[in-house]
Structure 1
Amino acid sequence: MTRDQKNIWNQEKRAVRRLRDGLGKPVDPGIMETVAILRLFGFTTTSSCGGHLDRAVSPYVAFRSSENEVDRQLIHEASSTAAKRQRRNRAIQHNADELASLLGYLERFYARRRVPYPQQLICQGFGVIGYRLATQDADLVYAVTDTEHRKLVMRQRQEFDAFTEFLMAEFFGTKDDAPSRAA
């Protein structure tokens, strides 16, 4: 990685560390690098979680189109049902365009990576609201024992880490040039 690339990476990680959610909480350290690389690719992340070992929450990153807030305001301001529907469809299209971009990265990632289907990352769609990147087995945290829960969340985190490393190699160059997870 060149000095300029390291500066870009470190600057984005600092920017992500300053982000706060609606409750004023920072991005979880376990998902911070995933959020940072997605933002470098131009994705508008809206919330995230690194997963929790003490409660039923799996890792995820939510995102939406950069035009989403304006789109939603226009829906609210529309004077007729037809106008609301048209603006809603436009908002969904904007989010779908961003989703299509992310799906391309996931497709390339899984073309080279073989893991059981439940472990794979997927995008869950919420139309006008946006999308969520999570593992296929994310909701199993509600159906497993405490011991299984810990193993499940750790495996989910590993899948996010592998995808993050893939994206870093895509953005910065070869895998050998990508910074380590500890950087």
Structure 2
Amino acid sequence: MATWEEMASTFSRVTDTLGTKIDTGIFDTVVALNMLGIPTKQSCEGHLDWGVPYPWVALQGEKEHCLRLYRYLSAFYAQHPLSLDTVLILHGIRLCSNGARFHEHFSGKEREQKLRQYQDEMQAFTQFLKTLCSAPDRSI
């Protein structure tokens, strides 16, 4: 099994077709998911000035990987406060906050506030995943 440092080193060299590296605000999420056997193919930390105003990670799309992520989400929300707006869901193969799909209906100030909330939720889940990554058997 690869260590966190080895996996982070690998993903620090990953770029998209334009040569852009993984956003720092979603980097640990990408590393953790891949360490836990959930391969990713795209991600974004969320931006107000371009792209979409919420963080997201797209999976490779294998049903078994989606099911594994679903189990991690279930374990996370068994111990973490749940908000209908910020709760992380799998929308197809994309992990994002439930309320993110309504971002076009929010005012500029609401988008800014919600982006922070959605990023905080993703970071809380990432911290949960990182504890699993450091466990000897990496299971829930």
Structure 1 moving runs of 4+ over 6 Å: none
**TM-score relative to the length of structure 1:** 0.69
In the TM superposition, what are the counterparts of 1:162-181 in structure 2 within 5 Å? 162-173=124-135
Q: In the aligned structure 2, how far is the partner of 1:33 from the partner of 1:114?
A: 22
Equivalent residue for 1:97, pick from 47, 64, 77: 64
Matching of residues 29-108 of structure 1 within 5 Å: 29-55=24-50, 57=52, 58-65=54-61, 95-108=62-75
State how 1:3-22 maps to structure 2 within 5 Å: 8-22=3-17
Q: Report the Cα distance in structure 2 between the residues aligned to 1:133 and 1:164, rounded to whole angstroms.
A: 12
Alpha carbons 2:44, 2:57 under 8 Å: kept:
yes
How far 1:56 sits from its partner (Å)?
5.4
Q: Which residue of 2 aligns with 1:116?
A: 83
The amino acid across from 2:69 in the alignment is: L
Could you tell me how far 1:115 is from its partner in structure 2?
2.4
Q: Which TM-score applies when normalising by structure 2?
A: 0.88
Q: Which moved more, 1:50-59 or 1:110-119?
A: 50-59
Measured in 2, the distance between the counterparts of 1:24 and 1:43 equals 23
Deviations 1:32-84 (A, max 9, x none): 0000000101111100000002245121000115xxxxxxxxxxxxxxxxxxx
2:67 and 2:115 map into 1 onto residues whose CA distance is: 26
Query: For residue 13 of structure 1, what is the amino acid of its counterpart?
Result: A
Aligned residue type for 1:143: H
Give the counterpart letter for 2:91 in structure 1: Q
Give 2:34's aligned amino acid: R
Q: What is the distance in 2 between the residues matched to 1:13 and 1:56?
A: 24
Q: Which runs of 5+ in 1 are unaligned?
A: 66-94, 126-130, 174-183
Q: What amino acid is aligned across from residue 159 of structure 1 in structure 2?
A: E
Change (3 A) 1:155 1:108: same
- What residue in structure 2 maps to residue 26 of structure 1? 21
TM-align CA RMSD: 1.7
Identity level (%): 31
- Larger Rg belongs to: 1
Shift of 1:144: 1.2
Aligned length: 134
